[in-house]
Amino acid sequence: MGVGIRALHPYVGRICVDIRTLYETRGHDMSRFGNLMMSRKSVNMPFEDAVTNAVNAALPLVRRLSPAERDRIEAVVVATESGVDLGKSLSTYVHHYLELSPRCRSFEVKQACYGGTAALHTAVGMVHASPYDDALALVIAADSAGVPALGEQWEGAEGAGAVAMLVGREATTLEIDLGAHGFHTFEVMDTFRPGPGIDVVNQDVSMLAYLECLQRAFTAYRDRVDGADIVDSFAYLAFHTPFVGMVRGAHRRLLRQQRQAGQHEVDSDYEQRVRPSQEYGAEVGNIFSASLYLALCSLIRHGSFPEPRRVGLFSYGSGCASEFFSGVIHPRAVEDLAALGVEEALAARRPLTVAEYDSVAKDGDRAQFGVREAVFDLDEYGDLGKEFTGRGLLVLDRIEGYHRTYRWS
């Protein structure tokens, strides 16, 4: 086995909202609802942010390591578009609360939803170049919608959460095909965040950019990897998932471009090779820099891996940057992820009424970037706060002079 992901774990939150109920309450055009292909989305409480999401995703992985293995973590790389400071990286907080060795690189990566992939490949490169065969890196893609786009059509797609990945040699989860990459990038203002709590979204431009990048990134991959074929080369595919329906449409277009596939072949291929990666996204929503890696978690749990099988992965980040790459999922990945109880965590989320969701969302700016002073008390949120009490999750306690202090619930 080569370099890649040795273990991964998603944090899917403690509360959620039903998207159909949300859209019906908002009075949206329900003829468009089916295009989302989503059921629920995870929601952060006001005392959660990208730091808490990151730590809560990584903690189960770190706890499984021996003290000696923890000390072998040479880098903590956090990808986010929900940063809390222009200079100080999220990784400094994450490193502190995970109690990792000070002999460690620590930095943050940003490029919209592509950030998780940039962080992963950076860590893979560091581990691959290390003279120490047992070197490890911790990569976390973590985001928080903060104040959701209340009332907008894309509101239902905005999720919250994180995915943590332990990177090293002897990759028993996803062994990266080194050098097998296709890239495509250009400047476009499709989706961007020019200030705290401000999301500017041009849905049509973003979808067109995504589709163009998928086609051109795979073409670049095919040019680099002799004999690469979108159907024959990969047992499964996993894509960045703004919403599940977007992936279905992108897959259809790609197969028609690459294989001149008819509708029956497209539908059959989607159900067999793509849908297993979409189950978690339909429950959690778009978690931005972590979206592709939530799809990877879903694929591991809902695909079939009796032997090592190659998968194709597509990462896209608005602005934009994209990459198609590949790797091999090993059978051990299935039992390792199953032991971490992702299905149980999804089922345990407390469903919100739309009124509760609106109340939580409107209070989300208390933990936004740029907040100077704030104090958070779980008790003031009643039953919702109790969803965290006694569960050993990291929560935001206070902000004093811009410095964030966290505590275990």
Q: Is 96 a catalytic residue?
A: no
**pLDDT of 146:** 66
CA pair distance 275, 402, nearest whole angstrom: 43
pLDDT (0 to 100) of residue 152: 81
Q: Can 104 be counted among the known catalytic residues?
A: no
What was the pLDDT predicted at 364? 85
Q: Out of 74, 81, 279, 323, which one is annotated catalytic?
A: 81
Domain edges within the chain? 4-174+340-408, 177-329
Q: Which fold has domain 4-174+340-408?
A: Peroxisomal Thiolase; Chain A, domain 1 (3.40.47)
Taking the whole predicted model, whether its pTM rises above 0.85 is answered as yes
Residue 314's pLDDT is 99
240 tagged catalytic: yes
Spell out the per-residue pLDDT of the chain, length 409, in tens: 899 999 999 999 999 999 999 999 999 888 888 899 999 999 999 999 999 999 999 999 999 999 999 999 999 999 999 999 999 999 999 999 999 999 999 999 999 999 999 999 999 999 999 999 999 999 999 999 766 677 787 788 999 999 999 999 999 999 999 999 999 999 999 999 998 878 888 999 999 999 999 999 999 999 999 999 999 999 999 999 999 999 999 999 999 999 999 999 999 999 999 999 999 999 999 999 999 999 999 999 999 999 999 999 999 999 999 999 999 999 999 999 999 999 999 999 999 999 999 999 888 888 989 999 999 999 999 999 999 999 999 999 999 999 999 999 9
Tell me what pLDDT residue 306 has: 98
CATH topology of 4-174+340-408 equal to that of 177-329? yes
> Which residue out of 113, 213, 297, 320 is catalytically annotated?
113
CATH architecture type of domain 177-329: 3-Layer(aba) Sandwich (3.40)
From 9, 121, 240, 330, the catalytic residue: 240
